[in-house]
Amino acid sequence: MTQLDRQGPADPVSVPFTPGMRDNPDELAEMPEEIARAVEEPADPTPTEELTAEWRNASYNCFSSGHKFCREVCPVMQVTRNESWTPTAFHANVVAMDKGELTIEDVAADYVNCTQCGACELRCPNTLFTGDFYRFRTRTVDVVKAVRALAVESGVHQPAWQSWNARTDELTHEPVLGETPIDQEHVRDWSEGLDLPIGGETVLFVDCEAAFYRTSVPRAVAQILQQAGYEFGLMGEQWCCGGPAAEMGYVDQAMRFARHNLDNWRSTGTRRVLVLDPHDYISFTEDYPKYFGEEFDLEVVLVVEVFAELIREGRLTPSVPIERAITYHDPCRLNKRKGIWQEPREILRAIPGLDFSDVDRVTQWSYCSGGGGGLPVEKPELTAAISASRLEKAAALEVDTLVSACPWSERPLTEAGEAVDIDVVDIHELLAESLGITVGGSRNGGAGA
Amino acid sequence: MTIAVERLDELVTALRTVLRDEQILTSKPDRYNRARVPAPFPVHRWSERLPDLAVLPTSTDEVAGVVRIAHDLRVPIVPRDGGTGLTDGAVPLRGGIVVDVKRMNQVKELDLENRTVTVGTGISMLKLNEVLGKHGLFYPDDPASYPCSLVGGRIGTSGWSLIGSRYGHTRDLVLSFDHVLPTGEVMHVGDGIGHKISKSSSGYQLKHLFMGHQGTLGIATEATLKLFPKPEAELSPFWAFDNYDDAYRCVGALARAGVATFAGAVLFDEWKVAYLRRDDEAYIPQPGDVRALVCAVMYGYEDEVRPAGKRLFRIAREHGARYLGDEISEGDWAARHDRYATPLHGRTKSGQVVPMSWHCEDAAINYTDLPSVSKAWHEIVADLRRRTDVFDDWGMFTYTSGNTGVDYLTEIDVGIWEQQLDDRAWEMWVRAKRDIAAVALAHQGSISACHGSCREGEVDLVPDELGRGYDVMLDLKRTLDPHNIMNPGKYLLDRAYDTGAP
Ligand SMILES: Cc1cc2nc3c(=O)[nH]c(=O)nc-3n(C[C@H](O)[C@H](O)[C@H](O)COP(=O)(O)OP(=O)(O)OC[C@H]3O[C@@H](n4cnc5c(N)ncnc54)[C@H](O)[C@@H]3O)c2cc1C
Ligand code: SF4
């Protein structure tokens, strides 16, 4: 029989113990330390040093895991297979900057390659496995935003982002990537004939893409609200929410835009903002509170959630059957960033006639349209490849329609859908149709039928 | 060590004859991000381990083209796949070219009749199994790094599968592969010349030679793998014990039982249980008298797994086990891939949470030697801890290797506060690793059952372990790689050459 002597000597480190427990022997904490020292912070830190001081431990949490469990869910990685453009690389670069090995000039261009979908954050074992206990979430999206901001602050620009933000500044709206005329005068054109008031306690905020390009979406939303007897108005002078500028690192511009919108809401007595675009939802629930603190006391309400509730309460009853074989695309900023995935499914299940092949939300962590985080501005070819891969997954389900709930995803998804003969429809449009509403508006900036 | 600018230009010009510009990466971040793997790494010496450039080939021909150029110009080549290896195999020690094969990730042929699949070696097992699942099949190479390691790296390390007692390990599961030799020639490695033969007696058996070499003998580009029916049932009971001895005896009895669906048994020791107690979600709702844990795993059809499970439950009960219930058992087994590398578990002795890297030393040890090896290993780590909080003992587990339980993957996990690593701490660590390997050898074990042993510290003892066999390694290396271009510096193989460096 094997000898099983497991009794060690009396030294407290030679027996198993749980560090930090009150009943541990004092000698443990009193043992001499030969190596570990507190990190010395420079007295007058450079912008890079400020960034690395803020993100040092968070980045080490990833660096020291370094396994890249997140890799196969990263949309950019899926299509490029380039390890420099993965969540770990984004953290590792911060460690390298902290060690003086890399500079912001070296790394800035790599940080373009992120749609800020948040899949990596969820897939990371540091979030998944120990996150709840330590209240820790890997925050790759924030790291990417912070590094992009440092780049802009340091005068390192990406050419397309720079001119795009300059144009947004000039137009007070995003140039929505095309030739569509954009200005303050036309920002409400989408609502022609709907007879909507301006201002009031509740206003509907319509993002630039929906206001100028996919106008069928806000029309559908407004008409459904009207049918349910839900009171709301349009914003007085609406500017871009500033979210995309913040995502690309143009923080001052983002804050100026936010300030304008907040002041405008105040001037029209607004207490509640209805949002149909998941990107705006992120801006208003994450960025604005950061900019304004307690001053930002408005209620932000997502339209998809309102509609699910109205259906539940029987105030909306979709009844016109829609004979389509569909699947649903979980927009990253709803599912992964905000945990909103049930309500859209509730709406789809309430629409008669649909043959719905669902893909569960966890599987969809690895799906993205490629339309977020400024990627289509700087690298349209990557956005197209990511959308194509999303449509390939839809095609495998033998559906004729892909439903999304995010106007920004719909343009690249629609383009990719043409190749596999799949129609891309917005969930609000689909609901309106089933409610017997003739929506009108355009799904492509009015560029032909 | 990097190559001179003029030579670099010459190299890039030559590479452009086989690759598109976009496949040749020379920027600093591209190089820094291909210089590390998850194992703790002296970050303060990061710049000493950079490649000169990285390439992203998409076919065997492109890989062969790159290797030929490197061979002609005498430039080092380091194959890199998932970059998750824990023994620094994919870390360049002499600069040169990192050949990153992640773009070779296609499923090329699925043969449902012969039950094989042929894939590019840059594919992950997770993605492959998504494809195979639609046909009711699976590829059962299941390391804890399942979501992130890739088929080529599995070949390069000849690693360990958590369900290997039932299905075998990588070396059993890979039938054959295309392989680019250090000269740039392409050969097919496997039993016989066919791609789908599992056993032949023609000639020397070369398959083992070209697996687990850590990229020192070439690059696998396309592999044909054995497939199994996707298991209908999975049973993974976890049992608690109030002492190590009973748990140890239990794990041996489970492995010796000879149950056909048995896929593995694991023993977690007292240190591991204390480590897991550091957070709430692991095994912790367990009372303080839980000192050791045993897990057994069965895979198969419902009607074979259930009765087999009954037998194992009976054996466990006879050894004083307390069953932890379905919820904990299923949850903990499901978390088998995510339980590693949780830096938030790092602690100083007084309890401060600090981000630490996970490091593991693994060895193959006979069952009868497990208790004394684990005792000696914990003592080595305790010695480090007495001196500094840079190191933390994250406990040990041992895992059956074969289905008879003859030997065990024996692993000690050490947390390392990488932010604090300096030359002194690194030196302490390298010495500790050497001591750990020496304990394995003193017990007639092998230095590694799993990750390889080509890293500073343990690698020093590989010649001792292999004896005359190590000289055969040197002979083979010199013959196959006359100019020492494949992953130079690894496994001390520079000794095969007069000059050392290329
Ligand atoms: C969280 C975690 C858990 C782990 N659990 C396990 C486990 O349970 N079992 C286990 O065995 N390992 C485990 N490992 C270690 C690691 O995953 C394995 O060693 C794996 O086989 C490495 O695969 P890779 O694709 O990442 O290879 P890499 O790290 O890229 O390469 C590993 C070695 O193989 C060489 N190589 C890479 N590609 C090729 C190729 N195409 N042809 C020839 N040589 C090549 C490299 O040069 C290097 O020497 C774990 C690692 C982590 C981070
Ligand atoms: S982000 Fe999380 S999952 Fe990805 S490499 Fe870092 S630690 Fe791993």
Query: What 3-state DSSP class applies to A82?
Result: coil
Q: Separation of A202 CA from ligand 1 center, angstroms? A: 56
Helix, strand, coil share (%) of chain B residues, nearest 5: 40, 20, 40
Residue B428, Cβ neighbours under 10 Å: how many?
19
Task: Judge whether B404 is closer than 8 Å to chain A, CB to CB.
Answer: no
**Closest by Cα among A216, A203, A221 to A269:** A203
**Closest by Cα among A240, A241, A224 to A232:** A224
Chosen for mutation from B31, B32, B375 (greatest number of chain A CBs closer than 10 Å) is B32
Q: What DSSP character marks residue A198? A: B
Ordered per-residue pLDDT tens for chain B, 502 residues: 567 778 999 999 999 999 999 999 999 999 999 999 999 988 989 999 999 999 999 999 999 999 999 999 999 999 999 999 999 999 999 999 999 999 999 999 999 999 999 999 999 999 999 999 999 999 999 999 999 999 999 999 999 999 999 999 999 999 999 999 999 999 999 998 889 999 999 999 999 999 999 999 999 999 999 999 999 999 999 999 999 999 999 999 999 999 999 999 999 999 999 888 887 555 556 778 899 999 999 999 999 999 999 999 999 999 999 999 998 899 889 888 887 777 878 999 998 989 999 999 999 999 999 999 999 999 999 999 999 999 999 999 999 988 899 999 999 999 999 999 999 999 999 999 999 999 999 999 999 999 999 999 999 999 999 999 999 999 999 999 999 999 999 999 999 997 545 4
Task: Judge whether B166 is closer than 8 Å to chain A, CB to CB.
Answer: no
Report pLDDT for A178: 67
**For residue B158, which ligand has an atom nearest its CA?**
1
Report pLDDT for A5: 54
Identify whether B175 is part of a domain.
Answer: yes
Full domain range(s) for residue B413: 233-443
Say yes or no: B195 and B242 in one domain.
no
Report pLDDT for A181: 78
Q: What is the mean pLDDT of residues A24-34?
A: 89
Report pLDDT for A131: 60
Q: Which of residues 7-26 of A touch B (CB under 8 A)?
A: 8, 11, 13-14, 16-21, 24
Q: What DSSP character marks residue B321? A: -
Report pLDDT for A3: 45
Say yes or no: B255 and B309 in one domain.
yes
Q: Separation of A299 CA from ligand 1 center, angstroms? A: 50
Confidence class of residue A1 from pLDDT cuts 50, 70 and 90? very low
Residue B327, Cβ neighbours under 10 Å: how many?
8
Among B100, B126, B153, the domain boundary falls at B100
Report pLDDT for A348: 98
Ligand 2 is surrounded, with C-beta below 6 A, by: A 62, 65, 67-70, 87-88, 91, 120, 123-124, 126, 138, 140
Rounded Cα distance between A262 and A270, Å, is 9
Q: How many domains does chain B have?
A: 4
Q: Separation of A87 CA from ligand 2 center, angstroms? A: 7
Q: Provide, as residue numbers in chain A, all residues whose Cβ is less than 8 Å from the Cβ of B271.
A: 16
Q: Which of residues 91-130 of A touch B (CB under 8 A)?
A: 92-93, 95-96, 99, 101-102, 106-107, 110, 123, 125-126, 128-130
Query: Token pair of A168, please?
Result: 């947004």
- Distances from the Cα of B352 to the Cαs of B24, B196, B346, in angstroms? 44, 54, 8
Task: Please check whether residue A334 is in contact with residue A406, taking contact to mean a CB–CB distance below 8 angstroms.
Answer: yes
Ligand 2 pocket check: which of A57, A70, A142 to mutate, most ligand atoms within 8 Å of Cβ? A70
Distance from CA of B342 to the nearest CA of A (A): 6
Distance from CA of B345 to the nearest CA of A (A): 9
Identify whether B452 is part of a domain.
Answer: no
Amino acid in the structure at residue A292:
F
Identify whether B453 is part of a domain.
Answer: no
Report pLDDT for A10: 64
Rounded Cα distance between B388 and B258, Å, is 45
Task: Judge whether B21 is closer than 8 Å to chain A, CB to CB.
Answer: no
Identify whether B493 is part of a domain.
Answer: yes
State phi, psi for A386 to the nearest 5 degrees. Answer: -70, -40
Identify whether B502 is part of a domain.
Answer: no
Identify whether B311 is part of a domain.
Answer: yes
Question: What DSSP element (H or E) covers B228?
Answer: strand B228-229
**CA nearest to B420 within chain A:** A36
Task: Please check whether residue B143 is in contact with residue B264, taking contact to mean a CB–CB distance below 8 angstroms.
Answer: no
Q: What is the CA radius of gyration of chain A?
A: 25
Q: Provide, as residue numbers in chain B, all residues whose Cβ is less than 8 Å from the Cβ of A63.
A: 43, 357, 418
Identify whether B449 is part of a domain.
Answer: no
Say yes or no: B319 and B433 in one domain.
yes
**Domain CATH number, residue B71:** 3.30.43.10
Q: Is B219 in the pocket of ligand 1 (CB under 6 A)?
A: yes
Q: Which of A16, A57, A99 sits opposite B46 (nearest CB)?
A: A99
Say yes or no: B113 and B78 in one domain.
no
Say if residue A2's pLDDT is above 70: no
CB contact under 8 A, B420 and A37: yes
Ligand 2 pocket check: which of A71, A73, A126 to mutate, most ligand atoms within 8 Å of Cβ? A126
Task: Please check whether residue B255 is in contact with residue B400, taking contact to mean a CB–CB distance below 8 angstroms.
Answer: yes
Say yes or no: B289 and B387 in one domain.
yes
Say yes or no: B283 and B356 in one domain.
yes
DSSP string, B98-111: EEE-TT---EEEEE
Q: Is B497 exposed, middle or buried (0-12, 13-18, 19+ CB in 10 A)?
A: middle
State phi, psi for B82 to the nearest 5 degrees. Answer: -70, -20
State phi, psi for B333 to the nearest 5 degrees. Answer: -70, -40
Chosen for mutation from A52, A68, A129, A367 (greatest number of chain B CBs closer than 10 Å) is A129
Q: Is B84 in the pocket of ligand 1 (CB under 6 A)?
A: yes
Identify whether B294 is part of a domain.
Answer: yes
Task: Please check whether residue A269 is in contact with residue A298, taking contact to mean a CB–CB distance below 8 angstroms.
Answer: no
Among B229, B262, B280, the domain boundary falls at B229
Distance from CA of A279 to the nearest CA of B (A): 30
Report pLDDT for B288: 82
Report pLDDT for B502: 47
Say yes or no: B67 and B80 in one domain.
yes
Report pLDDT for A170: 92
Say yes or no: B113 and B84 in one domain.
no
**For residue B93, which ligand has an atom nearest its CA?**
1
Say if residue A261's pLDDT is above 60: yes
Amino acid in the structure at residue B377:
W
**CA nearest to A68 within chain B:** B148
Task: Judge whether A61 is closer than 8 Å to chain B, CB to CB.
Answer: yes
Say yes or no: B311 and B174 in one domain.
no
Question: What per-residue string of b and e applies to B288-313 under the rule 16 or more CB within 10 Å gives b?
Answer: eebbbbbbbbbbbeeebbeebbeebb
Query: What 3-state DSSP class applies to B385?
Result: helix
Q: What DSSP character marks residue A424? A: E
Q: Which of A35, A56, A101 sits opposite B388 (nearest CB)?
A: A35
Say yes or no: B322 and B411 in one domain.
yes
**How many percent of chain A have pLDDT more than 70?**
95
**Closest by Cα among B229, B230, B223 to B109:** B223
Q: Provide, as residue numbers in chain B, all residues whose Cβ is less than 8 Å from the Cβ of A35.
A: 387-390, 420, 422, 424-425
Distance from CA of A296 to the nearest CA of B (A): 34
Report pLDDT for B285: 63
Rounded Cα distance between B394 and A174, Å, is 52
- Smallest CA separation from ligand 2 atom 6, residue: A62
Among B196, B229, B262, the domain boundary falls at B229
Task: Please check whether residue B52 is in contact with residue B97, taking contact to mean a CB–CB distance below 8 angstroms.
Answer: yes
Task: Please check whether residue A101 is in contact with residue B32, taking contact to mean a CB–CB distance below 8 angstroms.
Answer: yes
**Closest by Cα among A230, A4, A441, A167 to B371:** A4
**Domain CATH number, residue B200:** 3.30.465.10
Mean pLDDT of chain A: 93
Confidence class of residue A449 from pLDDT cuts 50, 70 and 90? very low
Say yes or no: B239 and B269 in one domain.
yes
Distance from CA of A12 to the nearest CA of B (A): 9
Residue B115, Cβ neighbours under 10 Å: how many?
15
**Domain CATH number, residue B301:** 3.40.462.40
Report pLDDT for A40: 87
State phi, psi for A301 to the nearest 5 degrees. Answer: -125, 130
Say yes or no: B323 and B439 in one domain.
yes
Q: What is the CA radius of gyration of chain B?
A: 23
Q: Which of B271, B280, B351 sits opposite A133 (nearest CB)?
A: B280
Q: Provide, as residue numbers in chain B, all residues whose Cβ is less than 8 Å from the Cβ of A11.
A: 382, 386
Rounded Cα distance between A167 and B156, Å, is 51
Q: Provide, as residue numbers in chain A, all residues whose Cβ is less than 8 Å from the Cβ of B37.
A: 66
Q: Separation of B85 CA from ligand 1 center, angstroms? A: 4
Report pLDDT for B345: 85
Rounded Cα distance between A372 and A408, Å, is 7
Say if residue A68's pLDDT is above 50: yes
Task: Judge whether B106 is closer than 8 Å to chain A, CB to CB.
Answer: no
Report pLDDT for B150: 98
Q: Is B112 exposed, middle or buried (0-12, 13-18, 19+ CB in 10 A)?
A: exposed
